[in-house]
Amino acid sequence: MLVLTLSVIAFALYWTWRWRVTSRLKPPAYPGWVPLIGHVHLFIGDSISLWNIVKEFSYTSLKMGGVISASIGPRTIYVVTDPDDCLTVANTCLQKDDFYNFAKPWLGEGLITGTLSKWKHHRKLLNPAFSQLVVDGFQGVFNSQARRLVKDMETEVGKGPFDHRTYTRRNALETICLTALGVEFCENSVLNSQYEHAVEQILNMLMERLQKFWLHSDFIYNWSNLKKKQERCLVILHNMSNTVLETRKAVYLNNKKNGLEASTGIKFKAFLDLLLELSTEKGAFNDLEIREHVDTMIAAGHETSANVLMFTLVMIGSYPKVQERIFEELHDIFGNDDRDVTKQDLSQLVYLEAVLKETMRVYPIVPVTMRCLDRNVKLKNYTLTAGRTCLMLVYGVHRHAMWGPDAEEFKPERWLNPATLPHSPNAFAAFNIGRRICIGKSYAYSSMKTTLAHLLRHYRVQADHKKMILKLDVVLKPECGHFISIEKRYNVNL
Ligand code: HEM
Ligand SMILES: *[C@@H]1O[C@H](CO)[C@@H](O)[C@H](O)[C@H]1NC(C)=O
Ligand SMILES: *[C@@H]1O[C@H](CO)[C@@H](O)[C@H](O)[C@H]1NC(C)=O
Ligand SMILES: *[C@@H]1O[C@H](CO)[C@@H](O)[C@H](O)[C@H]1NC(C)=O
């Protein structure tokens, strides 16, 4: 009897102890849990309400120590905003979450959505196509594209507020075609605006499917109207990438036949030529894989930098002192000359770069990334359980206490002095962190700095960032209120 009692007590003590140890390792839960559905009700709505809930999760996660959990029906997800814990997750689990599979009909085995085994192999093969040396070779195109943008926007001078995103997006789309893909076909403006519209729509549909959790199952989704809509978009999207591919391939094969070095008029291999070469000479990619890489590059390369430029112009227009300081920097480097921006100039545009970074900190263009935990992950204070989903909320990371009490303010100056920056480099995650960091980061900086240098030498911008209403369609963008107005500057020799 005594033995039995003692063992019951011992057993109870053991379980209490175990429970306390494991619950200490478990992150706290987001408030508002409802039996059976968990937190699902919070995610229902449109992409504006989704953005608001992402912000709330960011602030709650920050307040509760940087890691929290939430339940989507029977599934548990983690929400991380601690910069160093984000790096641990990002480098321990390289596999994207299943949500990215929703985009597979569009982007297939490209770098963003591809399976991990393909990604490892292909990322290594493709890295050289985005090295700084290659990007420097694009400088001529960046300059002529920037001049084109200046010219296109001229019709808006003095006419009051206009939607500048239509300009930055078209320009970025052309730039990516001219550089990475080596194709000028984007001249065809009808296909162009169709393509832009299709990208906009498909991003919105991805979010709709995420929010309508009953559509997560392929079986139900296959019968839905949403799927039919998506199919229509895919025809347009894939027609564009197929056309790019066929155009370039013809040139490539023709040059090869005539013993010419396949060239885009620049002295290096553009991304698409590298793909074609690796596939014809080493059989590294099949035709479908090439198209999927092309789709991924067009999408990832234009939608992101066009939106960052759009936000940056809004911020510059909202902060006249910032604008004057940029202009002074430009004046110090270029004087009254309207010459091209060189590689050396880029490294001198220190304040302009600070403005870009600060804009991306305040408005991270990819504010949420997701990983699938393929193993238990030990963080600073908690252990995350294998098999679950982990969200990294970049929006929260960029407002972590490490940024100081002025984290909510737009202050480009903070980037000029290491003492006013966080001690952890992981606190800035606009391009993601760790091994799956954006492949186009150097490309993005060079092209955006060149574009802004030209634009701001010619125009004075006015805007009000407080009017923006934002939404989350995979990337962060304004639903409305992102208008700027421009005036000509007359101190430049044209
Ligand atoms: C300001 C501009 C840009 C920003 C803020 C940005 C941001 C990002 C982020 C956050 C990711 C990680 C996405 C995720 O894990 O879900 C990413 C990945 C990627 N980006 Fe960018 N990007 C920019 C420009 C570009 C450009 C210009 C290109 C191509 C020319 C590009 C190509 C890619 C690719 C291929 C990936 C997938 C990388 C991988 O998983 O290996 N991006 N980018
Ligand atoms: C970890 O715990 C320490 C001490 O309790 C706390 O100060 C810190 O904010 C926690 N960090 C995370 C990432 O949870
Ligand atoms: C849904 O449709 C796709 C093709 O569009 C097909 O590959 C997939 O097997 C279908 N899934 C189910 C569960 O019916
Ligand atoms: C794309 O669409 C155009 C016009 O609808 C058609 O002529 C062309 O053959 C299509 N191209 C490809 C590669 O599917």
Please check whether residue 22 lies inside any domain of the structure. Answer: no
**pLDDT-derived band of residue 264, with 50, 70 and 90 as boundaries?**
very low
CB 54, CB 91: distance < 8 Å? no
Task: Starting from the CA of residue 241, give the closest ligand.
Answer: 4
Cβ–ligand 3 distance for 231 under 6 Å, the answer: no
Cβ–ligand 3 distance for 218 under 6 Å, the answer: yes
CA 407 – CA 288 distance, rounded (Å): 45
- The domain tally of the chain equals 1
Answer with the residue of higher pLDDT: 235 or 21: 235
Which stretches does DSSP call E strand in 122-180? none
User: At residue 262, does pLDDT exceed 60?
Assistant: no
User: At residue 21, does pLDDT exceed 60?
Assistant: no
User: At residue 20, does pLDDT exceed 70?
Assistant: no
What does the DSSP assignment read for 73-89? Answer: TTEEEEEE--HHHHHHH
User: At residue 266, does pLDDT exceed 60?
Assistant: no
Please check whether residue 51 lies inside any domain of the structure. Answer: yes
Cβ–ligand 3 distance for 217 under 6 Å, the answer: no
- Domain of 307? 31-488
Please check whether residue 21 lies inside any domain of the structure. Answer: no
How many angstroms does the Cα of residue 131 sit away from the middle of ligand 1?
A: 14
Q: Which atom of ligand 2 is nearest the CA belonging to 66?
A: 13
Give pLDDT, residue 190: 62
How many angstroms does the Cα of residue 82 sit away from the middle of ligand 2?
A: 10
User: At residue 107, does pLDDT exceed 80?
Assistant: yes
Give pLDDT, residue 2: 67
Please check whether residue 252 lies inside any domain of the structure. Answer: yes
Cβ–ligand 4 distance for 239 under 6 Å, the answer: yes
Cβ–ligand 3 distance for 219 under 6 Å, the answer: yes
CB 391, CB 68: distance < 8 Å? no
Q: Which atom of ligand 2 is nearest the CA belonging to 379?
A: 13
**pLDDT-derived band of residue 268, with 50, 70 and 90 as boundaries?**
low
Residue range 46-73, pLDDT digits in tens = 999 999 999 999 999 999 999 999 998 8
Ligand 2 pocket by C-beta < 6 Å: which residues? 65-67, 82, 85, 380-381
Task: Starting from the CA of residue 240, give the closest ligand.
Answer: 4
Please check whether residue 10 lies inside any domain of the structure. Answer: no
CA 481 – CA 120 distance, rounded (Å): 41
Task: Starting from the CA of residue 173, give the closest ligand.
Answer: 1
Give pLDDT, residue 274: 87
Percent of the chain with pLDDT strictly greater than 70: 91
User: At residue 28, does pLDDT exceed 90?
Assistant: yes
Give pLDDT, residue 395: 98
Please check whether residue 8 lies inside any domain of the structure. Answer: no
Residue range 445-472, pLDDT digits in tens = 999 999 999 999 999 999 999 999 999 9
Residue range 295-339, pLDDT digits in tens = 999 999 999 999 999 999 999 999 999 999 999 999 999 999 999
How many angstroms does the Cα of residue 239 sit away from the middle of ligand 4?
A: 6
Q: What is the mean pLDDT of the chain?
A: 91
Q: Which of 217, 220, 221, 222 to mutate to test the pocket of ligand 3 (most atoms within 8 A of CB)?
A: 222
Q: Which atom of ligand 4 is nearest the CA belonging to 238?
A: 14
User: At residue 74, does pLDDT exceed 90?
Assistant: no
**pLDDT-derived band of residue 181, with 50, 70 and 90 as boundaries?**
confident
User: pTM of the predicted model, to two decimals?
Assistant: 0.92
Torsion of CA 246, 250, 251, 256, to 10 degrees: 140
How many angstroms does the Cα of residue 64 sit away from the middle of ligand 2?
A: 9
How many angstroms does the Cα of residue 248 sit away from the middle of ligand 4?
A: 15
Run of H or E including 460: strand 459-463
How many angstroms does the Cα of residue 423 sit away from the middle of ligand 3?
A: 48
Which tokens sit at 89?
């997750």
CB 39, CB 33: distance < 8 Å? yes
Stretch among 2-16, 41-55, 95-109, 212-226 having the lowest mean pLDDT: 2-16
Residue with CA nearest ligand 2 atom 2? 381
Residue with CA nearest ligand 3 atom 12? 219
Please check whether residue 426 lies inside any domain of the structure. Answer: yes
How many angstroms does the Cα of residue 108 sit away from the middle of ligand 3?
A: 14
What CATH number corresponds to the domain at position 102? 1.10.630.10
User: At residue 265, does pLDDT exceed 80?
Assistant: no
Place of tokens 């995610």: 43
